[in-house]
Structure 1
């Protein structure tokens, strides 16, 4: 992997929190509760699944009783959301990942426990969205797993409107991510954490893998560092098929070692 903790550290710097956008009022407690109830009621007695394709894999806010490798067909990861807060600033906006139309996306599906389910759904929604406009990106996504199809809640699915920058070349994305940092950390760190935690589950997104190479090159260029000595191009490590399922303890932490079938 080209992007290393040492390179990521070069992107970190203290940044003040610019605060919320005054033109986008945050959801109220009552509105968060209503959203959670709507999704909970819509699911009914069926198991409630959550699709994690980014930071929910390595920084969850919920308990889970099961996880499975899952694929969302018709969607792919895309750093297409411009942000001036958290991992960006007004002076140097960053890019956040969403699901955009086309292709497929491999991630993890987590099943929530039946008890206290609505409260857990609300925690997920509060983590993922802030405003009413944000909430429109919450939707059910059909997934295919080793045990058959499931329907899962996902966030930032098919966003539209201002601040959405579709079909950016990876080279352009890399230039932004090598420079952007906010009070919540750097974009380079987000990319690094996402890639290594996907790798831990035998998931390799070819665009993210290429992007981490480009971001590493850009960081070296910014800081005048020599590139590693030329050698054979690294080949992706071949792994066994990763249709996996597993379980986690009620006090959920990043998933335990994968159980292979």
Structure 2
């Protein structure tokens, strides 16, 4: 298919300053960003080649990490630019509609849900908190092994040492889970909403630590410093966890934009 389709970044109130806020902003493929409005709500969009976002080529592109990273960076850059001016409901990566009419139909169908959510998110930001398990450091055998017992064969002595090491690791893991729950309790007390993400595994994990908690919190902007301090304090005092705090972000995890009429493709 030739021509262009509309790539959607987010939804905001159709305030007079929205168009000025996106003026000069560039999106996917360097295309200029604009607002498409329907009464009180507007979608922030740019035109992208239809040939890249039809079902089959898009599926191929999503396997190309270089292409996907470029699109993701552009997508989040636009959302952040809009969020600097007004409240925005970020949409999923690679959400497209065929034309402006389709975008306006989606806005009309979702208006009753978009407006209350925009009001709820106004003045709030998203913070992410990941907690990682720090395994006990490997100690020299003489230091880590239980006291030797006379008469044990080398094989039984080895198995006894391995059981001791496993017990040490299990105890540390239980302590880490308890610490992660303390961190969550502290963070939740400073947040108005919370969502739990899947822990990172496989290629998403960097380094030797195990991700045991991955949460997002919606926090009033003026509470951000108190939120971060509470998380850091809750994570202190134990060597078996490392807490990673990221943000503030636009409220990606709390947009909850419903599916609407029109062609939509999502990269997740």
TM-score class normalised by the smaller sequence: under 0.3
Which entry has the higher C-alpha Rg, 1 or 2? Answer: 2
Length-normalised TM-score, structure 1? 0.24
Q: Which has the higher helix share?
A: 2
Greater relative CO (CA pairs within 8 A, separation 6+):
1
